[in-house]
Amino acid sequence: MSLASNNGQGIIRNHDGFLVRDIGLFGMSGGPVFDTNGTVFGIQGSVTNPRVSTNGSRSIFVENALAIRSSLVHALLKDKRIRTN
């Protein structure tokens, strides 16, 4: 899924994947990540420690969750001949 987001200051970024409002939480690693249609997109891989991001006039706390695409998981399982059913 390809999405474009505007940061409110005229910068538009294209994302190959998905954007979420709620972060992944510690302890959710290995859990499913869904796209906006409710289809499993991948699995949550990790969450970074919170950091502060600032543009000089305002600051926000940022946590990033990393997801691994389902196709990469399937390819690894197939390559290693691991059955999934």
How far apart (Å, rounded) are the C-alpha atoms in residues 30 and 40? Answer: 12
How far apart (Å, rounded) are the C-alpha atoms in residues 76 and 69? Answer: 11
- For the chain, the straight-line distance linking the first and the last C-alpha, in angstroms and rounded, comes to 27
| Predicted pLDDT of residue 13 | 74
| Predicted pLDDT of residue 56 | 86
Q: What percent of the chain has pLDDT over 70?
A: 79
| Predicted pLDDT of residue 72 | 87
How far apart (Å, rounded) are the C-alpha atoms in residues 64 and 12? Answer: 19
pLDDT in tens, 18-54: 555 555 666 778 888 887 777 888 888 877 778 888 8
Q: 34 by DSSP, 3-state: which?
A: strand
| Predicted pLDDT of residue 61 | 82
Higher pLDDT, 68 or 64: 68
Pairing verdict, β 65-69 and 40-47: antiparallel
How far apart (Å, rounded) are the C-alpha atoms in residues 40 and 84? Answer: 15
